[in-house]
Structure 1
Amino acid sequence: MSGKDKRSKHTVDAFVTWLPEYCKDCRTCEHICPVDNLSFNGDKMVSAGKCIQCGLCMNYCPDFAVEVKPKPKKPSAKSKEAVK
């Protein structure tokens, strides 16, 4: 993919960051996403704004070019009880 800025991360949406310097344009992230959130417009990754933070794009990317912010952990019943 020509024209990529090889020095930076690109924030695709609130949860997804793309590292173009690692991307080999295999589009595994695009095909694995269960909600069709990711796609490419020319040489840029774009988001449809539907990310559910499942992490499949990140986990299946063979080049480690996608990062997904993890979902916040829900407090367990035990930790809720400790707060009272």
Structure 2
Amino acid sequence: MSKTIKVGDLRRNSAEMIEDVQAGAEYVITNHGHEVARVVPTAADTRWTHNRDRVDEVLERVADPELAAFFEEGRRSEVRTDR
């Protein structure tokens, strides 16, 4: 279940929102009544992890080592949890 927070409220309550997200909550951020972003716990965002085995397999087969390193760097930056 998502909670909704206005941009102005986010500015005043960002620490509280982050604590909620760390505990598993999801937020929809709105600006003038329009959804502009979603904040979800990293573990809940499977865009980059649902096919990790396939991504690793493709990276191993890429002929250009510099290209493989480029993709690996991008993948790591998307799944970091220490931010």
Same fold (TM over 0.5): no
With the length of structure 2 as denominator, give the TM-score of the two structures: 0.29
Between Structure 1 and Structure 2, the one with more helix by share is 2
Q: Greater CA radius of gyration, 1 or 2? A: 2
